[in-house]
């Protein structure tokens, strides 16, 4: 499947990538240098990592972590395979595709407990349930057709009763009335509309059976065998960073804009995105077991949804052992 997030982010990004800034705190001891490969351009989407770096929590754990920016020309998987990055931030469908091609990856943590794909509509013509899609025009990238097909299959919706209108990744076709709804991420086009005073609503696909783990942490099987202490230290810092993020999303957004002044980031937009990420990233399960946790039930739901996307995987794609050490 083609990359839905490339479509989403590539057209949304307002600036070219900013270089990683040297915010690592120097410690008296020699820390082990490792890299974390981000999945896209710098933004509040990765603010928990920025907090871990800025506050020296990785240094406290014995690591000197570099954050490698992603982007359209910086895929996540190759640096992890080559060892340039110890861990990469990906998604279950991308990891499944890489494994099908022979990569020896494991998903070792799940940042987004709910997949961020959503159907956005205007308040005066809402799409509140999957059944509301029938007879409507939906604006989307054709590459995301399997995603919409999966949602329809999961909810017994007649896919042929929906008119797909190929659109650029923008809210304009919805606002102008060209389409009735948009397939997008909960944290971008709906945020952009809210910032511009447009009364819109979203139907989160995860609330209707679409289970694909997003913003996942991947590592190689070799690293799980040979570099466990480093993986535990890195994920411990991530957990501290994201817990701090949850405690003050505005401060996390402010830090993001401060760290990357050339990234074209708008502070009000970053603050609203940070706020809207919280219910996607935290749940009763993470409250009980810790940041990044995933259950056997969620793995099974992912296996079923991935099968609808043409990806056959087994529970062995996921490995919870690092999180078990992190959270005790």
Instruction: Please determine whether the domains at 4-114+212-327 and 117-208 fall in the same fold group of CATH.
Output: yes
Q: Both tokens of residue 250?
A: 């505005």
For residue 143, how many C-alpha atoms fall within 13 Å in the half-sphere facing its CB? 12
- What is the residue extent of each domain of the chain? 4-114+212-327, 117-208
Contact 242, 281 (CB under 8 A): yes
Print the SS3 string covering 202-217.
EEEHHHHCCCCCEEEE
Sequential pLDDT tens for the chain (328 residues): 333 333 343 333 333 233 333 333 444 457 999 999 999 999 999 999 999 999 999 999 999 999 999 988 889 999 999 999 999 999 999 999 999 999 999 999 999 999 999 999 999 999 999 999 999 999 999 999 999 999 999 999 999 999 999 999 999 999 999 999 999 999 999 999 999 999 999 999 999 999 999 999 999 999 999 999 999 999 999 999 999 999 999 999 999 999 999 999 999 999 999 999 999 999 999 999 999 999 999 999 999 999 999 999 999 999 999 999 999 8
Contact 49, 36 (CB under 8 A): yes
**Distance in angstroms (rounded) separating the CA atoms of residues 72 and 54:** 26
**Which CATH number is correct for 117-208, 3.40.190.10, 3.30.920.30, 1.10.10.10, 3.40.47.10?**
3.40.190.10
User: Is domain 4-114+212-327 given the CATH code 3.40.190.10 in the classification?
Assistant: yes
**Distance in angstroms (rounded) separating the CA atoms of residues 103 and 81:** 7
Our CA dihedral for 297, 229, 238, 318, rounded to 10 degrees, sits at -20
């Amino acid at each position: 499947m083609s990359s839905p997030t490339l479509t989403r982010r590539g057209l949304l990004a307002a600036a070219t990538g900013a270089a990683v800034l040297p915010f690592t705190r120097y410690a008296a001891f020699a820390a082990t240098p490792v890299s974390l490969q981000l999945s896209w351009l710098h933004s509040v989407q990765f603010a928990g990592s920025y907090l871990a770096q800025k506050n020296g929590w990785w240094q406290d754990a014995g690591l000197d972590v570099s954050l490698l920016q992603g982007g359209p020309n910086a895929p996540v998987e190759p640096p992890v395979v080559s060892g340039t990055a110890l861990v990469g931030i990906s998604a279950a469908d991308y990891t499944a595709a890489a494994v099908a091609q022979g990569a020896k990856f494991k998903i070792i943590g799940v940042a987004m407990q709910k997949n961020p794909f959503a159907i956005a509509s205007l308040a005066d013509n809402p799409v509140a349930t999957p059944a509301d899609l029938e007879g409507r025009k939906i604006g989307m990238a054709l590459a995301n057709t399997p995603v919409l097909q999966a949602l329809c299959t999961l909810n017994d919706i007649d896919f042929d009763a929906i008119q797909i209108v190929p659109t650029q990744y923008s809210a304009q076709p919805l606002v102008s009335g060209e389409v009735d709804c948009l397939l997008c991420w909960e944290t971008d086009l709906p945020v952009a509309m809210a910032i511009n005073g447009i009364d819109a609503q979203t139907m989160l696909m995860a609330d209707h059976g679409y289970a694909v783990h997003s913003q996942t942490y991947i590592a190689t099987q070799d690293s799980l065998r040979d570099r466990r202490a480093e993986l535990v230290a890195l994920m411990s810092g991530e957990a501290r960073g994201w817990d701090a993020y949850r405690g003050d999303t505005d401060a996390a957004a402010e830090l993001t804009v401060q760290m990357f002044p050339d990234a074209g980031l708008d502070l009000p937009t970053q603050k609203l995105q940070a706020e809207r990420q919280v219910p996607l990233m935290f749940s009763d399960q993470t409250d009980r077991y810790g940041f990044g946790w995933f259950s056997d039930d969620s793995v099974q739901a992912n296996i079923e949804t991935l099968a609808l996307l043409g990806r056959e995987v087994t529970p062995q794609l996921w490995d919870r052992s690092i999180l078990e050490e992190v959270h005790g």
